[in-house]
Structure 1
Amino acid sequence: MRALNIPVALLSPFAALIRHRALIRELTRREVDGRYRGASLGMLWALVSPFLMLCIYAIAFGTVLGGRWPEVRATDTPFSIVLFAGMIPYFVLAECMVRSTELVIANPSYVKRVVFPLEILPWPMIFSALFHCLMNVIVFLAMRMAMEHRFEWTVLYMPAVILPIALVGLGVAWFISSLSVYVRDLRQMMGLASMAILFLSSVMIPLATVPQKYKAIFMLNPLSFIAEQSRAVLIWGQAPDWTGLGWHVAAALAFLYAGYAWFLSTKRGFADVL
């Protein structure tokens, strides 16, 4: 009997997605629409915001870091393009880290409804993050065409590159949303943690220029590998490292299941705290 239950346990996080797909679809729509409700540009901000952020990063770091990228020197690829390609997966992870702290705390009415499946709350968040990821890719392609008149068909591999980060984001959401109910300081800590993950990865700094004694920190950061794969498929026209992606997906799934199990074991006390 136990052997028969193993597949059920492994499918549990995704079975909830299928079982409550109509509710998750509605919550996702509200998640995306609510972000831009009342804004003059409305949904256009999904395209304008990443463009403006790219300009800020390019101006702030372009003259300092641009010359340190071997690819920038060798191919004359604009630093803003190299930077943005690495930032796309970071935006997905950062949104999950920061938004997770409010998933349960901001919805006490859901907690008090015995029949509401709290474990589905991370799904609308990750779908919203992936929607904005798609908008970022569209902005990237438009800028690449405008600046270099180039397009790489390997952009079709981008969903596979983003998959490990999306799985990690779900695991983070289940861990952090649960812990935030009991440890409210996490709301202040996650913003700092997301910035630390950014600056200790190859998103901002090429691995070739990192001092040897610090390189292990950058290599252990999963964002470094994903950022490099993002640049490979978006800029250099290369297929991703399938072996590396496979290992990252496996590790991300292990983290996801651990986060899901943690959430299920702790959600019984949410109503008492809130």
Structure 2
Amino acid sequence: MVHVLLRHRELIQQMTWREIIGRYKGSAMGLLWSFLNPVLMLAVYTFVFSVVFKTKWGGSDPVESKTLFALLLFTGMIVHGLFSEVVNRAPLLIVNNVNYVKKVVFPLEILPVVTLGGALFHSLVSLCVLLMAFAIFNGFVHWTVVLLPFVVMPLVIMCLGLGWILASLGVFVRDVGQTTALFTTVMLFLSPVFYPVTSLPERMRFWMMLNPLTFIIEQTREVLIWGHVPHWPGLLAYTVGALLVAWAGFFWFQKTRKGFADVL
């Protein structure tokens, strides 16, 4: 799996950049939209939750900043957005690139990697917006932000494995694309995006922690918002599980790719 990614790294880079540029092709502001979209969303979150709802994170601390809820919410949305973009687009990757299957000798296994690269780019832009907003509202940025790659990397690895699995299944079962859209929407509300895990009753927290997004969202907030060091044992265990998912996804994709041309 690693050998394939390294062997085609230049092609992956070129196609990822084309994927990023192609999304805004023909628009007047081009790549500027990738910056404006998260800025507008953060502004909306800040207004709705700090002005309209006057929501407090956990609902108990009266001295919280009015913008804290928006920043915490936006952090969760970034993590969920990375996950949902990869999962939602994966089932159609092979179906929408039939020429790569039938007419060209092409490393199909890099298509989910390219999609993941595009999702990471937009997540990085959103992260920059979040850090700028945090610095404006608080006057500083926690040094623990440098640890964020260690927090996000396990999720990236797991998303890659899911991308391979779903890209293959999408060829044989076309309903997978509809299912993933519903699944990611449900995951948005079953993940601690709009609320902290501590707001749940004790008996429900265990089930919430089984959600693969919960731990990463919580640890991302630890390093970005609260300035705490991440839970290293938990990240190590998550990474091991993510590597198993990635290897299984790659294995499944390579075993089933022989039937792509017959189906398509």
Q: Normalising TM by the smaller chain, what interval?
A: over 0.9
Aligned mate of 2:221, from 223, 231, 234: 231
Determine whether 1:199 maps to 2:189.
yes
Query: Who is 1:43 aligned against?
Result: 31
Determine whether 1:66 maps to 2:55.
yes
| Partner amino acid, structure 1, of 2:180 | M
Kept in 1, the 8 Å contact 2:113–2:160? The answer is yes
Q: Provide structure 2 residue ranges, at least 5 long, that are not aligned to the other structure.
A: none
CA deviation string 1:45-72 (max 9, x = no partner) = 1111122233444555566693352686
Q: How many residues align?
A: 262
TM-score by length of 1: 0.89
Aligned mate of 1:81, from 61, 66, 71: 71
Kept in 1, the 8 Å contact 2:49–2:69? The answer is no
Separation in 2 of the partners of 1:42 and 1:167?
Answer: 29
Determine whether 1:97 maps to 2:87.
yes
Q: Structure 1's 158 and 30: CA in aligned 2 closer, same or farther, altered over 3 A? A: same
Kept in 2, the 8 Å contact 1:68–1:209? The answer is no
Separation in 2 of the partners of 1:133 and 1:88?
Answer: 6
CA deviation string 1:79-105 (max 9, x = no partner) = 101111222221111111111122111
Further displaced range: 108-117 or 134-143: 108-117
Q: Structure 1's 199 and 208: CA in aligned 2 closer, same or farther, altered over 3 A? A: same
Separation in 2 of the partners of 1:195 and 1:64?
Answer: 23
| Partner amino acid, structure 2, of 1:106 | N
Alignment of 1:209-224 (within 5 A): 209-224=199-214
Separation in 1 of the partners of 2:43 and 2:112?
Answer: 30
Q: What's the CA shift for 1:150?
A: 2.3
Determine whether 1:132 maps to 2:125.
no
Q: Structure 1's 201 and 160: CA in aligned 2 closer, same or farther, altered over 3 A? A: same
Query: Who is 1:9 aligned against?
Result: none
Separation in 2 of the partners of 1:204 and 1:65?
Answer: 14
Residue 136 of structure 2 aligns to a residue whose secondary structure is helix
Separation in 1 of the partners of 2:4 and 2:34?
Answer: 28
Alignment of 1:1-274 (within 5 A): 13-58=1-46, 66-69=55-58, 73=62, 75-76=64-65, 78-113=68-103, 115-274=105-264
Q: Structure 1's 41 and 144: CA in aligned 2 closer, same or farther, altered over 3 A? A: same
Q: Structure 1's 68 and 82: CA in aligned 2 closer, same or farther, altered over 3 A? A: closer
Identity of aligned residues (%): 41
Further displaced range: 201-210 or 134-143: 201-210
CA deviation string 1:228-253 (max 9, x = no partner) = 11111111111111111001000001
Q: Provide structure 1 residue ranges, at least 5 long, that are not aligned to the other structure.
A: 1-12
| Partner amino acid, structure 1, of 2:249 | G
Q: What's the CA shift for 1:116?
A: 1.1
Kept in 2, the 8 Å contact 1:58–1:83? The answer is no
TM-score by length of 2: 0.92
Kept in 1, the 8 Å contact 2:112–2:163? The answer is yes
Separation in 2 of the partners of 1:224 and 1:174?
Answer: 22
Q: What's the CA shift for 1:74?
A: 5.7
Superposition CA RMSD, Å? 1.9
